[in-house]
Amino acid sequence: MPTVDIPAGRIHYAQRGEGPPVVLLHGLLMNHTQWDAVIDRLPDGFRYVLPDLPLGAHPEPLRPNTDLSLRGLNRLLADFLAALDLRDVTLVHSDWGGGLFLTAYGLDERIGRLIVLPCEAFDNFPPGLPGKTSVLASYLPGGVTLALRELRIGWLRRSPLMFGWMARNPLPDDLVRGWTEPGLRDKNIRRDLLAYTRSEFPARELIANTEALQNFSGEALILWSSAGKVMPRDHGRRLAELIPHARLVEIDDAYVLSMLDQPAAVATAMTAFLTGTRARR
């Protein structure tokens, strides 16, 4: 994988294609392989960039004492885009919703469009039972290591406390082993994860930072799932009403990880947005 150095440390990323940049983000305890079922279905003519964010499945720890609060992660994301000199980016959100706050922090100058799959928004940080379980584990001695090991056991992984409400279909063992390997291998990967999960999530600030998207001037596709309990269905509608140039498309029979539950439907909707937006510009 290529890497790029930013003030926080070294960021690994995958990429393919040439053209206008599309940056695909991933969720907590996941990495770029979250998109494996979709990436080959997306249209040619774009540069797809998939960073491994420091959310617990990244291959290399960041510098000690890096700010990995929501504000710090947004700064990191902005630095990543700047380091690769990516402009007019279509930014794709999934599960981790912190990147929605780039506008609130005044860091969205490189963002031209948004695609928002089910993710944290408003005061839904950390989201549902899986998010609350992650935070609880981060405060128990050895809790993160135990949680990572439990994720490798299929019947435990399918619990609503873990990934059971994240994906409608069981997640493959090899995919989850890749997500859990870095944290089990390196205590400093776990350190980075804890720096985020132990940071503060004040509800009033979260709501205000989400509502700052009313100032986002680009087009947006809210590609939400019609089912599931972790990311409320109503949040998709609210985001579509909040962002001035947004439209809502719902994916049936999918939970949070709709790119794994319904890869063909997700790719079709993303393709229509990417190619339609490009044609009008």
pLDDT digits over 107-140, tens only? 999 999 999 999 999 999 999 888 888 888 889 9
CATH of residue 65: 3.40.50.1820
DSSP assignment letter at 172: P
| pLDDT at residue 280 in the model | 39
Specify the pLDDT at position 277: 52
Task: Please name which of 72, 113, 58, 76 lies closest in space to residue 91, comparing C-alpha atoms.
Answer: 113
pLDDT at 111: 98
Q: What is the pLDDT of residue 133?
A: 87
- The pLDDT score that the predictor gives to residue 130 is 87
How confident is the model at residue 273, as a pLDDT? 98
Q: Are 257 and 95 in contact (CB under 8 A)?
A: yes
Which residues of the chain are modeled with pLDDT < 70?
277-281
CB 97 within 8 A of CB 128: no
Which string of b and e fits 105-129 if b means at least 16 CB within 10 Å? eebbebbbbbbbbbbbbbebbbbbb
State pTM to two decimals.
0.96
Check residue 42 and give its pLDDT.
Answer: 98
User: Distance between CA 32 and CA 212 in Å, rounded?
Assistant: 27
Q: What is the pLDDT of residue 53?
A: 98
- Which structure tokens are listed for 148? 């990572």
* Total tally of structural domains belonging to the chain: 1
- Domain of residue 251: give its range: 3-280
- Tell me, what's the pLDDT at 132? 84
